[in-house]
Structure 1
């Protein structure tokens, strides 16, 4: 379809710029988050009463306001001092996107540019929250529509801050979780009286399923599956006990899959 090529073109044009300028507030993967947490602890910001907070945005891509998102895209480019992108004036990019996007609300899932446009929309939405946390030397990071941050303040203050964030835009609604130990993506994070502990997190509803050994896949697929699982256990596990427990879970998973 013609729109597929347009979407890829826009994504190749804009995504590298966003990745470059929004890196500090972007979580790449579990290892990236753990490294940030370790730096947070090393700098003395992790206290015994530090709260760990996660929330995710419900239905971000199906509720993405198109015109507003495109306006935010131009605002983002201007703020980063871009008048042209690869010699294309941003006004032309804006008009090009206006012709491409006919939906008023929501983006096409699977479209190359959907993720980038959603990220740029969230860049605008999260600016005030990021600033409030950064001035307090707190850790903030977002992985698409999942957000993690730390806070050394009262729960009442946190709830008030997130209530304001939740009401700041009619299309953005948050589902939050707070505690001394919480999961974020595939990492389980615990603040044990000021001591940072991490391990691999498995969702309770997730089936322990990988590519069966009897399936018709190249042999390197099975090797990579095992290598990836062991590498993740090594990088995520703070203690030997947690590592050994993850290895035990891995053995059961591979036995389950033949």
Structure 2
């Protein structure tokens, strides 16, 4: 929380809150810089800034590069660190500090410098030129653009469009509704037709005593739903009987065409042998 009054008044409020319940005690820390989870909040002349928080006792260890892991695991670790740095750093300077810390950490854990630079370049590929010598973003505009994209925040242009839509009069609401209906109609046209639409499929295991099952089901369906719209649904009745083990093991006679072709081939071979 932020507090604009004196520190003594804030302590009085917090101490008073600790008297509300005997089993609930608040631990507080007052200062211009406070950690919250893995974010460090800093009050700079009334302006809050955020950055990645590292515990003082934490060692700069990650998965060593010599460990027996697939290559994509190392790439994901580097990219995750960069993504967190961009999301949590509120200024370009704080991001650069965290980027240097990330590279130093991975170098300390045996990651080759060329490998780290390649991951950096791949990560920033959509925001830096392919001819850029440095494998990272170099100005604040690129940083802000990438931060908005990764955090899902609307851009300035998107915010302006949303404001214009919000200020539309009720007379223009029907135009928006018509546009939405057209979009829905376009989506429906692009959808593939469902071949099972308006069809009711019933499967059963066939036995000798079920010889009239199909006919009986169709008759019951017609009698039950007579003079209703359900009759527009097509009833399909079939069985899922699998081939018996005996049929699977029986070696069937090949097609006649195959037998003839083999017979002709054998006769030709016999003639050639006799000619020799």
Q: TM-score range by the shorter chain?
A: 0.3 to 0.5
Whose relative contact order is higher, 1 or 2, with alpha carbons under 8 Å and at least 6 apart? 1
User: Bigger radius of gyration, 1 or 2?
Assistant: 2
**Structure showing the higher strand proportion among its residues:** 1
What TM-score do the two structures reach when normalised by structure 2?
Answer: 0.37
What TM-score do the two structures reach when normalised by structure 1?
Answer: 0.40
